[in-house]
Amino acid sequence: MLFGKRIVVVLPAYNAELTLRQTYAEIPHAYIDEVLLVDDGSVDRTADVARSLGIPTIVHAKNLGYGGNQKTCYRAALERGADVVVMLHPDYQYTPKLLVAMASLVAVGQYDVVLGSRVLSDGALAGGMPKYKYVANRVLTLFQNLLLGKKLSEYHTGYRAFSRRVLETLPLLENSDDFVFDNQMLAQIAYFGFSIGEVSCPAKYFAEASSIDFRRSLVYGLGVLRTSLQFRMAKCGLGRARIFAADGARLTVREPAPAAAARD
């Protein structure tokens, strides 16, 4: 626990067999109450490796997409009594060493959401981020800051910590099951008035780290533009997309399960 809050780390996994052990080994377990992995229909031995490490593991019978994976992650974490949930990719792109710093900022109530930013320092390019992705990141971030009225250094990191209240409040089930889920979620966080903090985070880009190709990056970028325009239209009273609906579909959460119970 941190400051009396139960901390759960969720690992949305897809074909992470080669990097999972290294990621898990660097998690500061003394401060983390539980680590939970959701395997999104991997075709490698991700689930087997997770179970061998003693990680409670949920397996999707078929691939539901990155957003669909996160929906399962957050629902399961809430059911297991999490006060703070941190999403960490098991592909070792982001360092687990920042888990305590990010979770602490949420646990003490400083921020509702904390992002691990790759561009507050030299983390992105120094870690090998392709230049076209870096340029796209900066352009999209500028566009979103203008439309969302924020001053974030980036909107596209996959390293995030959330309070329980955020995950219970946002209409997450209205979001896409694809990669744009991440961006829709940040737009929702801004729309519903939650606070966002950032910490500088180094990142690594290598063969085993997950990454989307140019075509899917383009689809994601167009989704980001659409989400930002939907946000501004909703704020101006020119219509409201379901992702910003106060009565939108939220995660359905059962009573918290016993902490020691594993699920497959």
114-169 pLDDT, tens digit each: 999 998 877 666 667 778 788 888 999 999 999 999 999 999 999 999 999 999 99
What pLDDT was estimated at residue 207?
A: 61
For the chain, the domains span 7-244
pLDDT digits (tens, 9 = 90+) for 195-249: 999 999 988 876 665 566 778 888 999 999 999 999 999 999 998 899 999 999 9
**CA–CA separation, 241 and 178 (whole Å):** 17
Neighbours of 43 (CB within 10 A): 9
Q: What is the pTM of this model?
A: 0.91
222: exposed, middle or buried (Cβ count in 10 Å: 0-12, 13-18, 19+): exposed
For the chain, counts of helices (H) and of strands (E): 9, 7
CA–centroid distance for 249 within its chain: 19
| β-bridge partners, 7 | 84
Q: What is the CATH number of domain 7-244?
A: 3.90.550.10
For 176-197, letters b (16+ CB in 10 Å) and e give bbbbbbbbbbbbbbbbeebebb
What pLDDT was estimated at residue 208?
A: 60
For 102-123, letters b (16+ CB in 10 Å) and e give bbbbbbeeebbbbbbbbbbeeb
**CA–CA separation, 74 and 171 (whole Å):** 12
52's tokens: 């061998």
The larger pLDDT score, comparing residue 231 to residue 252, is at 231
Helix ranges restricted to H, the chain: 20-25, 46-52, 66-79, 99-107, 123-126, 131-148, 164-169, 181-191, 214-235
Task: Please give the angle made by the CA atoms of 260, 261 and 264, to the nearest 5 degrees.
Answer: 135
Name residues whose C-beta falls within 8 Å of residue 2's C-beta, 6 or more positions apart in sequence. 31, 84, 100, 103, 104, 107
Neighbours of 145 (CB within 10 A): 16
Q: Percentage helix, strand, coil, to 5, in the chain?
A: 40, 15, 45
**Token pair 């359905």: residue:** 252
235's tokens: 């704020």
